[in-house]
Structure formats: C-alpha cells, structure tokens
Amino acid sequence: MSKSPEEEHPVKAFGWAARDQSGHLSPFNFSRRATGEEDVRFKVLYCGICHSDLHSIKNDWGFSMYPLVPGHEIVGEVTEVGSKVKKVNVGDKVGVGCLVGACHSCESCANDLENYCPKMILTYASIYHDGTITYGGYSDHMVANERYIIRFPDNMPLDGGAPLLCAGITVYSPLKYFGLDEPGKHIGIVGLGGLGHVAVKFAKAFGSKVTVISTSPSKKEEALKNLGADSFLVSRDQEQMQAAAGTLDGIIDTVSAVHPLLPLFGLLKSHGKLILVGAPEKPLELPAFSLIAGRKIVAGSGIGGMKETQEMIDFAAKHNITADIEVISTDYLNTAMERLAKNDVRYRFVIDVGNTLAATKP
C-alpha cells in the first residue's frame, strides 16, 4: 500500500496544493526526502507564479497529478548541504527553476541541455528517481540535487529575481542560441506579459533595437517609457504592420493563445527567425509560402539547461535585470490565480512564502 504524502519521506513539509482540476489551492501537509550527499536543502523565501502553474492546477494539458504543489520559480536560503556538495554553502541565496532531474547520460545532458533530456524531471507533478511525485515551491522548504541549484549573486533581489528562473531563461536561451544577442540586431517581442516584458529587458541589454508587437494599443506607453523598447506595433493595425515589413532580424513570440503567424512573417527580413516560446493549446496555422519567400525560419525553444540558467542569472545581475512583480501573501493565492487567468497582473505575481506561509497552517 502506498504511503500518504505526509509519510512518504522523513522530513515534514507544508505548502499549498490543488487537489483536483477545479484548481482550488489550500493548505497541504506533505514530506520531502532527507538531504542526500549531493543534495541542497533551502528555506523557501519567495516563489513566482508562472502561467504554467495555472494550466497545471486546472489540468489544461492533461498530465497533472494530484495533489499538486505548483511553483518552479523558487528562491531561498540554504539550510543544509550534503557531504559531496561543492557549489553552495549554508546561508547562501539560491534558486530552483523548472527542473530537478534528468538522466545525465544522454547527448542532451552531456551538452548541459538537461531541458531537452527525454527523461527530464519537472520540479512539480513529475515522478522523481525514487518513484515519488515532485512538489514545487508553494511550500516552506525545497530539496534538490546540486546540479539543479542556481546561485543568486548578492546584488540580485530574491523577489524580482525569482521569475527569471522560468520566464528569464525562456527568453534568454533563444536570443543566444539563434544569434539574436549580437549588438545592433533588430528584435521583435510579441506579447507584453510575464515573458515579454523580461524579453525586452534582455534584448536591450544585448544591445538590440527592440520593437514590441501587441494587440493592445494601451501597452504602448508601458513598452516605450517603462521597459525601454524602441518602437511599438499594434498587430491588428495593417498600416503599421505594412510600414514595418522586412525590418526585423528575429522575433520572440511569447503569446500562449492561438494567433495568426502570417503577419509576423511579414515583419522579418530574409533569413529572419520567428521563435515560439508561448504554447497555445491548439495548433497554429503555418503558411509555407511566406517562409519559402525569404528563407525564413520558425523554431521553438523551451527554458534552458542548468549551465545556461546560471549564466542568465549572472548576466541579469550584472545588468540589473529583474521581473516587474506584485508581491502577494500566501492566502491571496486563489485570487491571484483568478487575476492571472484574466491577465490582470504587471507582470508576475511572487508569493512572499517566507513571511506569510506559516500563518496559513490549519
């Protein structure tokens, strides 16, 4: 007979979980494994709320496992390290992003691309090496193999830095991989949400000219004045789109709703690249002719490996890049999820776990 989440492991833990696809979150007692010789345990101080968390608690993608403790933008302070850990010490500020495991023997893992390992283990709602379900960062503490621990530089704020562990690496990795990080490139960012606003900041830090492309004219001032974009296009305005035709070297498309790609292809120069990082639930139409005429590329990209995630955090610290956040208390979680479903957040909710979780214990 299988053990209850509370009895599965030796170390008691407390967090908030969804019990079914209603997605309602409530207090949850569970347990985490003892600190292994390569493990790092840390007290969770902040955890970002990613759109994936909302999809997962409601089982939108069909593979959620309940009870489900979400959260994969997790930061805190190290409380215990295993005997073989070399990377961090007790008291260090660290984070865990979307992954906590992989096979470590495939080609992807050998190339520091654990995110493309066919056996990668997600931070929550995945099955760990020991056969138990992984639980995320809406919880009092976290334990992970040191390979999946990201060191936070002293000047990186933990609350504003937390969302970079998912949103940050999701846009940083394709900018680097597809050569869109060279100074002077002209980059388009589609969608100005959790991913898009961070993409603007990284692209500007790389020395790019940045155009934000959005369906909402109301976001123009925000994009230009607050985030430092160079120009703004309303994607439904055909005149604006026509005037900008053939001007972009690459586009990072962060939109996770179904939307037409054809207008975006028109903005690309010949040999331009459109990279999808948002994941709409239904397939998008791909008009082949507009790709053929100009040798244009459509690609996808998903988060990044651990080595690159550390590189991204270090780069962000050097350039003072953080997410724009709204810090919330744990008891506000369900309201935050309702607001996130309506895109009513600028641009990322972050839970103040360290100061507000304990008060919710029944």
- For residue 279, the model assigns a pLDDT of 84
Residue 1 clears pLDDT 80, i.e. is over it: no
Give per-residue burial for 90-113: e unless 16+ CB within 10 Å, then b.
eebbbbbbbbbbbeeebebbeebb
Amino acid at 188: G
For residues 308-317, give the mean pLDDT. 98
Position 33 scores a pLDDT of 98
Do 51 and 45 contact (CB within 8 A), yes or no?
no
What is the pairing mode between strands 268-276 and 297-300?
Answer: parallel
Average the pLDDT over 123-144 and give the result.
Answer: 97
297 by DSSP, 3-state: which? strand
Three-state DSSP class for residue 184:
coil
Residues 210 and 223: their CA atoms lie apart, in Å, by: 10
* Amino acid 280: pLDDT: 84
Q: What is the pTM of this model?
A: 0.96
Average pLDDT estimate for 340-358: 96
Q: Which amino acid is at 319?
A: H
In the chain, domain spans: 9-164+323-358, 167-298
What is the structure's pLDDT at 281? 79
For residue 26, the 8-state DSSP code is E
CATH top class, domain 9-164+323-358? alpha beta
Question: Quick one: 167-298 is in which CATH superfamily?
Answer: NAD(P)-binding Rossmann-like Domain (3.40.50.720)
Length of the chain (residues): 362
**Cα–Cα distances in angstroms (integers) from residue 50 to residues 31, 174, 221, in the given order:** 23, 19, 25
Whose CA is closest to 87, among 43, 120, 153, 40?
40
pLDDT band at 61 (very low <50, low <70, confident <90, very high): confident
Q: Could you read off the pLDDT of 135-191 as tens digits, one per residue? A: 999 999 999 999 999 999 999 999 999 999 999 999 999 999 999 999 999 999 999
The whole-number average pLDDT for the span 202-219 is: 97
The answer to whether residue 36 scores a pLDDT higher than 80 is yes
- Alpha helices by DSSP H, listed for the chain, are 51-57, 107-110, 158-161, 167-177, 194-205, 220-221, 238-243, 262-267, 288-292, 306-318, 333-341, 353-356
Average pLDDT over residues 336-361: 96
CA torsion sign for 316, 320, 325, 327 is: positive
**If pLDDT is split at 50, 70 and 90, which confidence band does 122 have?**
very high
> What does the angle CA 2 – CA 100 – CA 158 come to, to the nearest 5 degrees?
120
- Mean pLDDT, range 266-287, rounded to an integer: 94
